[in-house]
Amino acid sequence: MAKAGGKKSPSGAEETRAALVAGAIAALREKGFTGASAREIARHAGCNQSLIFYHFGSVVNLLLAALDTISDARSVRYRDAVEESGSLGELVDAAKSIFDEDLDNGYVAVLAELIAGAQSTPGLGAEVAARIEPWRDFTANVVEDVLAGTPLPVLASPQDIAHGIVALYLGLELLAGLNGERGAALALFDRASLAATLYDAFMAKEDLQDPHPQQSDRENE
């Protein structure tokens, strides 16, 4: 029998779970954490709300599953962007494009609402923080690769730099999502892209001046 909104009830456990996750994402985007009730999620999913507790145990667990689903999908996108970038400038440009995608699709709204909900929901903060940690590790690995062979790691560890980048990126997304204005954030990406281009040019010049640094070191031993 068709449920609310004229949707057909999904059949099969996996289909039901997927529908509930999609419903949770939609509810968080439209109603926020406080409005993402079992009834609201079920309405979006076209399911009986009792199925939320059958499959996930609680609404909070379902909301975390929604965050996991988005994180998994974005992780693939981010990793592909890093692999396709041949320079720091291209990497910054890719980050700008992904920033736009995140806002256009409301991905940041899900994380923002869960962060907000963590202030009043015991245990939720630790769960959300644990899901942000892999992004810091991913960013630290990228930073380490980019800074390899430069003196910058002496000034700050890749982990410290990654923490700042993740915090800045999330802060820019939260602010842009809050007022719907992303111009200031995009301007920062443009400035970062210019700085990255200059850095790439400097490193290319250094390579031309000493194309075989490792060989030179061995010869001096």
pLDDT score of 88 more than 70? yes
Least confident of 27-41, 110-124, 128-142, 194-208: 194-208
Mean model confidence pLDDT for the chain? 85
Mean pLDDT score, 53-61: 97
Tell me the pLDDT band of 1, cut-offs 50, 70 and 90. Answer: very low
CATH number of 1-57: 1.10.10.60
Alpha-helical runs (H) found in 57-123? 59-84, 88-104, 107-117
Compute how many other C-beta atoms are within 10 angstroms of the C-beta atom of residue 189.
19
- The predicted pLDDT at position 43 comes to 96
Angle of the 107-117 helix axis to the 124-147 helix axis, nearest 10: 130
pLDDT of 154-175, one tens digit each?
Answer: 678 889 989 999 999 888 888 8
From residue 84, how far is each of 90, 115, 146, 192 by CA, in Å? 9, 31, 14, 19
Q: What is the pLDDT of residue 2?
A: 37
Q: What residues does each domain of the chain span? A: 1-57, 66-208
Predicted local confidence at residue 146, as pLDDT? 81
- Mean pLDDT in residue range 189-211: 79
In angstroms, the first-to-last Cα distance of the chain is: 80
Q: Is a pLDDT exceeding 70 seen at residue 122?
A: yes
C-alpha to C-alpha distance for 196 and 85, rounded to whole angstroms: 12
